[in-house]
Amino acid sequence: MALENESTRKEIDYINTKRYVAGKYSWSTIDITFNDPIVPSGAQKVNEWFRRHYEFSTGTAGYASDYKEKITLRLLGPDGTFVEEWKLIGAFIQSTNFGDLNYGSDDLVNISATISYDYAILNY
């Protein structure tokens, strides 16, 4: 997760002087890769979420209250315990790639997605 300041500072006129405050901050997008097991279908779950953004068959766009989610990311340590937890608030899919389906490959099918979000909270 990366927090970026869109501008270094904002200038405020105050009587005969100038005051400065920090500019607006924004969170950069993150890329996530999912392994797609046969059951349950990871592709189906990602596609269902994506269809809440925009329904291609009817051309209707969804409301933010329908497609924005709260996502919890837990990072595992070497012994399998949770060592870090992030909550992404207002998360939605910016783009997705359902991977290559190749019967000749022994590789797992991976689904990659770029996730945008309003803000993040580091719990621990």
Is there a domain that residue 14 lies in? no
Separation of first and last alpha carbons in the chain: 14
Cβ atoms within 10 A of the Cβ of 93, count? Answer: 18
* Residue 75 in domain: yes
pLDDT of residue 6: 61
Is residue 6 domain-resident?
Answer: no
Of the pLDDT bands very low, low, confident and very high (cuts 50, 70, 90), residue 36 is confident
| 8 Å CB contact between 98 and 111 | yes
Residue 46: predicted pLDDT: 87
* pLDDT confidence band for 90 (50 / 70 / 90): very high
Mean pLDDT (whole number) for 19-24? 85
Total structural domains in the chain? Answer: 1
Per the domain annotation, does 4 fall within a domain?
no
Residue 84 has pLDDT above 90, yes or no: yes
74: pLDDT strictly greater than 90:
yes
Q: Which domain holds residue 82?
A: 28-122
